[in-house]
Amino acid sequence: MLKTNAFMEAAFEEARAAGERGEVPIGAVIVHGNEIISRAGNETRALNDVSAHAEVLAIRRAAQVLSDERLIDADLYVTLEPCTMCAAAISFARIRRLYYAARDAKGGAVESGVRFYTQPTCHHAPEVYSGIRETEAADMLRDFFREKRD
Amino acid sequence: MLKTNAFMEAAFEEARAAGERGEVPIGAVIVHGNEIISRAGNETRALNDVSAHAEVLAIRRAAQVLSDERLIDADLYVTLEPCTMCAAAISFARIRRLYYAARDAKGGAVESGVRFYTQPTCHHAPEVYSGIRETEAADMLRDFFREKRD
């Protein structure tokens, strides 16, 4: 398995674990020096914190590991297109490359919505790679919300 | 002094305290039931956390006070136009009214930049009141960055 695939698989593991905790099943990992230095799933309910999306938690944890709020040369893998809040946090953290699985037309902010990285008020844009295992990631979210409704 | 002015003054106090700690001088308070329930200044440096903007910290603290991640009927006062990350967090937290002092053409996301609250991917928009003591707030930021350069 290619390293990139292994990193995305780790993000999927975090997403599944979040779903099992009753959180929206989205997961993220941050890679630095070819190793995973932080991982997180959504924890908005557990923490009563609207900012506790997987990406923001992974960024906060990676910053503790590197003792630097800027994550130079770090890459972020996440199972869903980041929302407007997370897209901006990824920019502020100076993430080098962003890999994500499914597109989020309703709440995303990279190829959807405000397309933050193309905006003049965005002062650092990561390289973006998307569509990796997108069907699987979208299905996981769809199943979660279907079960919640039932 | 009108209550609204007292609340904005409390946000200015947080901004000044942040500046004295060497943080970018921006402050915020959250009001619920006509009382301040949380206050914060920027702490990105102290916490090594790009998400530790005054608004996000105030929202996290208010959610702990109310034991709910959604801050229904709560109003946020902040000394600068919220950035893209904070504008989205304010929306997620269901803040009722947003009051801010200075406009931020370079990084703001309410009347500047992505104008998040007018976008289809924004699913809750607060009522917005801006321009309150804007010159004073802008001067505080300008002085801070000038001193840093010198």
Of B45, B63, B85, Cβ closest to residue A48? B63
Q: Which of B37, B42, B59, B121 to mutate to test the interface with A (most CBs of A within 10 A)?
A: B121
A residues 107-126 closer than 8 Å to B (CB):
107-109, 112-114, 116, 119-123
Residue A112 has pLDDT above 70, yes or no: yes
What is the per-residue pLDDT across B133-143, written as a single tens digit (0 to 9) for each? 999 999 999 99
Average pLDDT, chain A: 96
Give CA–CA dist B86/B90, Å, rounded.
6
What is the per-residue pLDDT across A62-81, written as a single tens digit (0 to 9) for each? 999 999 999 999 999 999 99
Please check whether residue B148 lies inside any domain of the structure. no
Please check whether residue A56 lies inside any domain of the structure. yes
Positions in chain B whose pLDDT score sits under 70: 1
Q: At A117, which CATH number?
A: 3.40.140.10
Domains: count for chain A: 1
Give CA–CA dist B76/A92, Å, rounded.
23
What is the per-residue pLDDT across A124-135, written as a single tens digit (0 to 9) for each? 999 999 998 999
Q: How far is CA B135 from CA B104, B126, B130, B138, B142, in A?
A: 12, 23, 12, 5, 10
Please check whether residue B131 lies inside any domain of the structure. yes
Mean pLDDT (whole number) for A140-150: 90
Provide the whole-model pTM: 0.96
Domain interval for residue B86: 1-142
Under the banding of pLDDT at 50, 70 and 90, the label for residue A1 is: low
